[in-house]
Amino acid sequence: MISLKEKKILITGADGFLGRHLVANLQEKRGVQTEHLSLPTIDELDLRKWEDCKKAVLGQDIVIHLAAKVGGIGFNQQKPGELFYDNIMMGVQLMEASRQAGVKKFVAIGTVCAYPKYTPVPFREENLWDGYPEETNAPYGLAKKMLLVQSQAYRQQYGFNSIFLLPLNLYGSGDNFDAANSHVIAAIIKKVYDAKKNQKNHIELWGTGKATRGFLCVEDAAEGIILAAEKYDISEPVNLGSDLEISIKDLVELICKLMDFKGEIRWDANKPDGQPRRSIDISRAKKEFGFEAKTNFEDGLKKTIEWYQTICKSLF
């Protein structure tokens, strides 16, 4: 087990949703001092550029690569080229720069979108190469998946210690609620909040509601990543998540209930559902580094809703 307390740690994407929670965990639970953390923003270092990647990793012991261009189905449909290029260039160059700089450990964050479209549920890590990802997010999923290929190749050729984690869809306080590129839970909460605020008697949602998803609270995700950084030193991929599987229809109804919205839910079946089913096997993370999600899903949703409502009220 690695003690992170005295290590110099680079966290890319530290000012993002997951990054802020990861930094808080390192400081508050692991006692990592601010001076040991390198937290560059995109304005300071553009990781699509090789020279900036070299600057980022200089003198670092551990790299946790969270930075990514992400979004929901609509965003993936609009910008597949950007999502592929930006994500693959950041990851591939950063890992190579880390290897050249003698970084002791590289933690690569992948995505559940890397799994094949029709993966048997629950998704097991050994199924990762059994088919092509769901088309709407394949460019993003494949770009992140290449970090696994690189990680395993670098361990084989160079003995480079890199690991690859596959987190479920995240949610929680501090999520991105931008209508243009938010993920499903944040998007639904925003739609319901806006409908109540504007006294609308309905909300409109993409797809049929039949697709299923699993979710992981962002605080749990941060803990899982840190546990892996401390304890896991194998290049085999590891799922991070919970054993939850809920249909989008049931998710919407639960959020409406928690937000006391009694209006109509209208589904636009001409819009894509995305991957038909998504739920993961969580046994490897528990076995290899003792990770289990702690947050009850309904409790986590309530906390997220309360956070968003508080933020919205503070803006007026």
Domain ranges of the chain: 9-175+215-243+277-294
Residue 181 has pLDDT above 80, yes or no: no
CA angle 116, 119, 124 (to 5 degrees): 105
130 is in an annotated binding site: no
pLDDT band at 72 (very low <50, low <70, confident <90, very high): confident
pLDDT digit string (tens) for 102-114? 999 999 999 999 9
pLDDT band at 61 (very low <50, low <70, confident <90, very high): very high
Residue 93 has pLDDT above 70, yes or no: yes
DSSP-assigned beta bridge partners for residue 240: 167
Structure tokens at 52: 């900036």
**Which of these, 221, 86, 217, lies nearest to 165 by C-alpha position?**
221
- Told to judge if 171 belongs to the known catalytic residues of this protein, a careful annotator would answer no
Residue 88 has pLDDT above 90, yes or no: yes
Are the C-beta atoms of residues 239 and 123 closer than 8 Å to each other?
A: yes
Query: What's the sign of the alpha-carbon dihedral 175, 180, 183, 185?
Result: positive
Mean pLDDT of 261-275: 92
37 is in an annotated binding site: no
Q: Which CATH superfamily is domain 9-175+215-243+277-294 in?
A: NAD(P)-binding Rossmann-like Domain (3.40.50.720)
270 is in an annotated binding site: no
13 is in an annotated binding site: yes
**Which of these, 242, 218, 239, lies nearest to 285 by C-alpha position?**
239
Dist. CA 228–CA 221, nearest whole Å:
11
191 is in an annotated binding site: yes
The pTM (predicted TM-score) of the whole model is: 0.95
Q: How does 55-74 read in b/e, with b if 16+ C-beta sit within 10 Å?
A: ebbeebbbbbbbbbbbbbbb
Residue 73 has pLDDT above 90, yes or no: no
206 is in an annotated binding site: yes
Residue 316 has pLDDT above 70, yes or no: no
Residue 249 has pLDDT above 70, yes or no: yes
Does an H or E element contain 202, and which?
strand 202-206
pLDDT value of position 74: 82
pLDDT digit string (tens) for 183-199? 899 999 999 999 999 99
pLDDT digit string (tens) for 122-149? 999 999 999 999 998 999 999 999 999 9
% of residues, the chain, pLDDT over 90? 91
Dist. CA 134–CA 139, nearest whole Å:
9
167 is in an annotated binding site: yes
One of 115, 140, 154, 232 is an active-site residue; which one? 140
pLDDT value of position 246: 97
Query: What's the sign of the alpha-carbon dihedral 5, 7, 13, 15?
Result: positive
Mean pLDDT of 37-65: 97
144 is in an annotated binding site: yes
